[in-house]
Chains A and B, each alone.
Chain A
């Protein structure tokens, strides 16, 4: 989706007001550009220049009134609080610099430091310059996840309670609403019902979207864990399973951890930082995660079919749901 020139000028003016608060008397905003995002949530890059130095920053915002299809998300203010708490817990994340106020005129959201690195999964999996990073990344992911899961939940904002039962039911309801017939999904739902491990006794903070694509990676490895909007309380093994879903391996099938690492390295890093791995639960969440991504693809095509979101990407991604069907067959009925 493209931003209009009016949009750019409005954001630049808003950021100039924010800069006056962040760096009183010396902040001049430049280089404002839209990076990504749909109608409901946007990411912008910009710099605040003061004298000779320039501070690279990111604005994440939801313009007023937006936010359908956001039923599972925590909202940007909560996301900012979670990122700050994660930073305190030693998780690599960008520092939050400012949470938007109504008088900033930019909607809801926050400004954070702009880390340098790569987030495109395909490049992280393939580019020669990340060869050294790939050797340590799975282990670093394990460590970061163990730290997230050890964060004291009493200090966190109120979050929805997840877990295998709730997630399975949510995905089932969503799939039923789409009204599509997919025998492979039915087989996956059947397997998931029969093998559901039940909720964990003590729910922990779950990132909820910890995968290759939401990780900022530099040549030395993990630089930042991004996109906390799907955070919730639940089973820590959900994050490990989701990270291993084949859809995030970008063709590197034999490196189950994001297409860059071995399961053993992920588990070792997790244990080294005090986490306890339950491989059976990880597998359960990998199956459920594969199905979930298929249903997300289906949901996006459904949004196009229903006329809510008409960009070509939404239509085309419906034809990627079958990728998860073959991945589910590999997991459940290997030949």
Chain B
């Protein structure tokens, strides 16, 4: 068994080093810019390690249900099949469940890739029941 720090903790440590020591050291320079980008990339990797297992299970189940596909297909195959159905016009926004499926998959992707993206934040807020409606 490997010792701690875990991979996630190592990524956290390196991202903090980049943000706290490399970015301030080179204000406005290309190095500062790339250090910030690098720290953000490590955060993406860390979020994916935490969130992807559950998200991919949801994505797998949603596409299998939408396509009526073989549940043994892997996620890459399922995505290719879904793309083909849309590309050939067999599925479109009138297909029941398609929009909901794409929204769910996309929200899960954003939770890993860019959870502070404003469109994502607004989609989460809009999905919550308005307290005044209760």
- State the A residues within 8 Å of B (CB): 1-2, 181-184, 186-187, 189-191, 246, 249, 251-253, 311-313, 315-316, 319-320, 322-323, 325-327, 329-330, 332-333, 335
Given A311-B34, A312-B41, A326-B123, A183:B102 Cβ within 8 A: yes
B52 at interface (Cβ–Cβ under 8 A)?
Answer: no
**Distance in Å from the Cβ of A331 to the closest Cβ of chain B?**
10
- With CB as the reference atom, state the residue of chain B lying closest to A193: B89
A326 in contact with B37 (CB, 8 Å): no
Any A CB within 8 A of the CB of B134: no
Question: What is the size category of the interface that chain B forms with chain A?
Answer: 35 or more
Shortest C-beta distance, B51 to chain A (Å), equals 13
A77 to chain B, nearest CB (A): 27
Chain B nearest CB from A217 CB (Å) reads 18
A-contacting residues of B (Cβ < 8 Å)?
30-31, 33-34, 37-38, 40-41, 44, 76, 79-80, 82-83, 86-87, 89, 92-93, 98-99, 102-103, 105-107, 109-110, 112-114, 117-120, 122-123, 126-127
A309 to chain B, nearest CB (A): 13
- Please name 15 pairs of A and B residues whose Cβ atoms are closer than 8 Å in the assembled complex, sorted by A: A181-B82, A186-B87, A190-B92, A249-B118, A253-B118, A312-B37, A315-B41, A316-B41, A320-B113, A320-B114, A322-B109, A323-B120, A326-B107, A326-B117, A329-B106
A interface: dominant SS: helix
Q: Answer whether A323 and B117 are a contact pair too, CB < 8 Å, given A183-B83, A187-B102, A190-B87.
A: yes
Nearest residue, chain A, Cβ from B44: A319
Q: Which A residues lie within 8 Å of B30 (CB)?
A: 1-2
Chain B residue nearest in CB terms to A34: B30
